[in-house]
């Protein structure tokens, strides 16, 4: 059987560049697992980029956490995606998500939960992080994968006043893992569909 090469799109917003570093890590992980990757900054999305999202097999949503939810710019994009909802354009695509905020918790669960609801409204299939929580035992360290202990997506904590070079390496590795996992799940789904259609 020919290897399946999924197209994984990353639709994200980043106000000050921290979440963009996480988006790049998701892209790297997806590419390493064999995906064709399309990255779309949703605050400047063009018609051509909307078409790229429509054509993708998976869409990974990403946003900073602002006031306990995704940024205003991401919410504008989510509202505009209602045009896709009317036509079921994203139904049965794979979805996943990531967020960065300043505090360790920072109410990031609100953002990841919003992404899950957005995916569900579109009829997409959510892929979670698939990592046990790190940094939660006496043997654990802040360099553990999934050091912040989220299950539904990749979470990062970067000092609000730090440069983009202060994004934690464990959060970057966790985001790379998410990109790989989404790609592998999407490849299995595509192969299964092809097998059933044969």
Ligand X SMILES: Cc1cc2nc3c(=O)[nH]c(=O)nc-3n(C[C@H](O)[C@H](O)[C@H](O)COP(=O)(O)O)c2cc1C
State which residue, 71 or 186, has the beta carbon closest to ligand X.
71
What is the x/- site pattern for ligand X, positions 162-181, by CB under 6 A? --------------------
User: Under rule CB under 6 A, which residues in 56-75 are in contact with ligand X?
Assistant: 64-68
Q: Who contacts 40 (Cβ-Cβ below 8 Å, separation ≥6)?
A: 9, 10, 11, 12, 49, 52, 53
Tokens matching residue 145: 């994968």
CB 156 within 8 A of CB 177: no
Please, which residue, 15 or 130, has the CB nearer to ligand X?
Answer: 15
Q: Least distance in Å: CB of 177 to ligand X?
A: 20
Query: Is 8 or 148 the residue whose CB approaches ligand X more closely?
Result: 148
Residues 6+ apart with CB under 8 A from 102: 157, 158, 159, 160
Query: Is position 18 an interface residue for ligand X (rule: CB under 6 A)?
Result: yes
Binding segment for ligand X (CB under 6 A), chosen from 10-18, 81-89, 114-122, 186-194, is 10-18
Element containing residue 98 per DSSP (H, E): strand 94-101
Instruction: State the nearest-atom distance from the C-beta of 91 to ligand X, in Å.
Output: 29
**What's the N-to-C CA distance of the chain in angstroms?**
12
Contact with ligand X (CB under 6 A) among 5, 15, 85, 133? 15
The 3-state DSSP class for residue 177 equals helix
Reading the block at residue 171, the tokens are 């959060």
Tokens 């799940």 locate to 185
Q: Are strands 154-157 and 58-66 parallel, antiparallel or unpaired?
A: unpaired
CB of 130: closest distance to ligand X in angstroms? 24
User: Least distance in Å: CB of 192 to ligand X?
Assistant: 35
Query: For residues 68-127, which are near ligand X according to CB under 6 A?
Result: 68, 100-103, 106-107
Query: DSSP state, 139?
Result: T
Element (H, E) at 70: strand 69-70
109 or 173, CB closer to ligand X? 109
Which spans of this chain sit near ligand X (rule: CB under 6 A)? Answer: 14-19, 64-68, 100-103, 106-107, 158, 160
């Amino acid at each position: 059987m020919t290897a399946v090469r999924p197209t994984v799109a990353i639709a994200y917003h980043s106000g000050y560049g921290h979440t963009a570093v996480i988006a790049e890590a998701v892209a790297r992980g997806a590419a390493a697992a064999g995906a064709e990757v399309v990255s779309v900054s949703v605050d400047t999305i063009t018609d051509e980029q909307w078409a790229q999202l429509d054509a993708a097999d998976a869409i990974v949503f990403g946003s900073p956490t602002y006031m306990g939810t995704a940024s205003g710019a991401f919410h504008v994009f989510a509202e505009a995606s209602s045009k896709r909802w009317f036509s079921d354009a994203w139904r049965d695509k794979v979805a996943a998500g990531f967020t960065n905020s300043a505090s360790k918790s920072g109410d990031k669960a609100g953002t990841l939960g919003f992404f899950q609801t957005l995916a569900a409204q579109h009829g997409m299939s959510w892929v979670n992080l698939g990592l046990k929580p790190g940094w939660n035992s006496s043997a654990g360290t802040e360099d553990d994968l999934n050091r912040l202990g989220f299950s539904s997506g990749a979470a990062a904590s970067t000092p609000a006043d730090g440069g983009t070079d202060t994004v934690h390496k464990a959060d970057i590795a966790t985001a790379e893992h998410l990109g790989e996992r989404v790609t592998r799940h999407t490849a299995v789904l595509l192969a299964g569909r092809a097998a059933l259609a044969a």
